[in-house]
Structure 1
Amino acid sequence: MKGILLVNLGSPESTKPKDVKKYLDEFLMDPRVIDVPRWARILLVRGIILNTRPKQSAKAYAKIWWDEGSPLIVLSERLQKKVQEKVTIPVGLAMRYGSMTLKKGLQELVDQGVTEVKTIPLYPQFAMATTETIDVKVDELVAAHFPQLKITRTPAFYKREDYINVLSKSIAESLEGLDYEHLLFSYHGVPERHIRKSDITNGNCKMNGKCCFKMGSPQHEFCYKHQCEITTVNVAKKLGLKRGTYSTTFQSRLGFDPWLQPYTDRTVERMGKAGVKKLAVVTPAFVSDCLETLEEIAMEAEEIFHEVGGEQFTTIPCLNDRDDFAQVLANMIEEWRIVTIETAIA
């Protein structure tokens, strides 16, 4: 029997500093999030970050927390239910970090009689710190606890036509009737070294702003920067945006190593100082609104924009639990089901 496991990032149990600290410890101690030797990671995370950041992060979470709980969790659960209504096989939900563990998600499917699981990371673009860490953790759990399970992975879906159509439609709906000057595509940032580590060609990635747009390069299958850039290009084309009226930036950097640029906060500040009065921001690396969209963009970035003279700042919601996005996931599931049936017949 086949089953689906949708996987998102996760969330603290509450906005209490102790819960935020516990969550950050699991998240930041992941070697694919902070990819330095374990001793250095322990020194950085448990020696510095966890002694200073939890209280600050707890205040940030408190600003965006819903009565039902974490927005990311609530929205993911709503999405799961909608996808389940559209398909005939069990659809589970798990988080990479936090109490809704991958182990629990797999066990719930196994308890329903599932023997073959397709994991669908809820990230349109591949990255070491998102998709890869899910794949690695699932492999570890299967080897240790679920040797009877067959796992099928889902490739990054950033260039699926139905996904681009839905993303473009959601943006168009948010901008309908809105007089704006520039549309900023803000993606979650990663260190530049992550891009190089994910380069399966061992050196083709030049990080020069050009190789991302060379079609057919094999490293693009695992190149986060390429996939972000192409997401922007495809949506801009679908919306008929004119060159110069949109751009791509990256947010949420940590530490002092170079991260993907240009940075969102500095770009927002620069545009405001340059005289842009009406700015819209969309965050296509996230399918669910969360701390990084609701607080970092909709609050912090907007504050920066207004401080330097900007007047109108519009944050476009993530796809969240839109019916048409649930249908995109259902399409992916049905395609997998058909292929496996055809393979079995052959």
Structure 2
Amino acid sequence: MKGALLVNLGSPNSTSVKDVKNYLDEFLMDKRVIDTPYLVRAFVVKGIILNTRPKKSAEAYKKIWWPEGSPLIVLSERLHKKVAEKSDIPVELAMRYGNPSIKSGIEKLVNQGVTEIFLIPLYPQFAMATTETIEVLAAKLVKKHFPNVQLTNLPAFYNKEDYISVLSNSIKTFIEKEKPEHLLFSYHGVPERHIKKSDVTKSHCKIDGSCCNTPSPAHEFCYRHQCYETTKQVASFLNLKEGTYSTSFQSRLGRDPWLQPYTDKTIEGFAKDGVKNLAVVTPAFVSDCLETLEEIGMEAKDDFIENGGEKFTTIPCLNDNDDWADTLTNWIKNWSK
């Protein structure tokens, strides 16, 4: 029997400093998030970050927390409900960090008689710290606890025609209403070394402005290429004019070089250059979360206004949009035939 497991990033159980600290511990100690040797990672995370960041992060979560709980969890649950109701096979929901865990999601499917699982990381673009860590952990759990289960992974869907259509139409609604001078595609940042580590050719990725546009097997696992390709295809779908849209990367951590241009500096630059009406969309996320609601919707908006901007629109993620739920359902149905 077949079943599907939707997997999103995750969230603290509450906005308490203790819960946020536990969540950050699990998240940042993942060797595919902070990819340094264990002792170095433990020193940085447990010795420094967890002694300073949880309180600040807890305050940020409080700003965006809903009465029902974490927006990411609530929105993921709403999406899961729609997909499960439309699907002909069992569908469960899990988070890479926090609850509900991937192990619990697999258990729920197995308890329904499922022996083949379609694993669906809810990330359009492949990255070590997102798609890969989900696939690796799920495979590890299956091998250890569910040896009779077979896994099939959904590949990155950054350029799938139906996804681009759904994403583009969700953006179109807002740009037709708000008529921004510029549309910024802000993707979650990753360290540059992650791009090179994911290069299956070990030679193609140079992050020099040209490699992402040169065909290569490396693109199957190149986060940077896939982000720019998503922007390119949405711009084509919406017939956006050159110069009216651009791509940037947000949420960097530490001092190592991360993908550029940086979103915060880009937005500040637009305001100082006279852009008065800016819209930002965040296509690395399918569910609104701390990075979209607080970092973009609050911090970035404040920066834009303080530097001379006048109108700032944060375009929501796909969340539980009906057409997005239908797209996921179709992928599941096509797999389970």
- What band does the TM-score fall into relative to the shorter chain? over 0.9
Superposition pairs of residues 236-247 of structure 1, within 5 angstroms:
236-247=235-246
In 1, the alpha carbon distance for the partners of 2:116 and 2:180 equals 47
Corresponding residue for 1:107? 107
Instruction: Report % sequence identity.
Output: 68
In 2, the alpha carbon distance for the partners of 1:96 and 1:177 equals 36
Corresponding residue for 2:312? 313
In 2, the alpha carbon distance for the partners of 1:38 and 1:70 equals 30
In 1, the alpha carbon distance for the partners of 2:136 and 2:59 equals 32
In 1, the alpha carbon distance for the partners of 2:99 and 2:3 equals 21
Q: CA deviation at 1:99?
A: 2.4
Corresponding residue for 1:118? 118
Corresponding residue for 2:302? 303
- Per the alignment, in what secondary structure is the counterpart of residue 193 of structure 1? helix
- Per the alignment, in what secondary structure is the counterpart of residue 209 of structure 2? coil
Corresponding residue for 2:91? 91
Superposition pairs of residues 62-81 of structure 1, within 5 angstroms:
62-81=62-81
Structure 1 runs of 4+ with >2 Å offset: none
In 2, the alpha carbon distance for the partners of 1:86 and 1:220 equals 33
In 1, the alpha carbon distance for the partners of 2:177 and 2:55 equals 40
- 1:161-216 CA-to-partner distances (Å, cap 9, x unmatched) read 1100000000001122323110000000000000000000011112111111223x
- Per the alignment, in what secondary structure is the counterpart of residue 52 of structure 1? helix
The answer to whether the 8 Å contact 2:8/2:96 transfers is yes
- 1:95-119 CA-to-partner distances (Å, cap 9, x unmatched) read 0000211100000000000000010
Q: Which runs of 5+ in 1 are unaligned?
A: 339-346
Corresponding residue for 1:327? 326
In 2, the alpha carbon distance for the partners of 1:180 and 1:87 equals 38
Corresponding residue for 1:343? none
Superposition pairs of residues 30-179 of structure 1, within 5 angstroms:
30-179=30-179
In 2, the alpha carbon distance for the partners of 1:254 and 1:267 equals 17
Corresponding residue for 2:260? 261
Q: CA deviation at 1:28?
A: 0.1
Corresponding residue for 2:212? 212
In 1, the alpha carbon distance for the partners of 2:64 and 2:128 equals 27
For 2:328, the aligned partner's letter is L
- Compute the RMSD of aligned alpha carbons: 0.6
Q: Which runs of 5+ in 2 are unaligned?
A: none
Corresponding residue for 1:229? 228
Give the aligned length. Answer: 337
For 1:235, the aligned partner's letter is V
For 1:199, the aligned partner's letter is D
Q: CA deviation at 1:303?
A: 0.6
For 2:123, the aligned partner's letter is Y
The answer to whether the 8 Å contact 2:178/2:313 transfers is no
The answer to whether the 8 Å contact 2:187/2:284 transfers is yes
Is 1:252 aligned with 2:256? no
**TM-score, normalised to structure 2's length?**
0.99
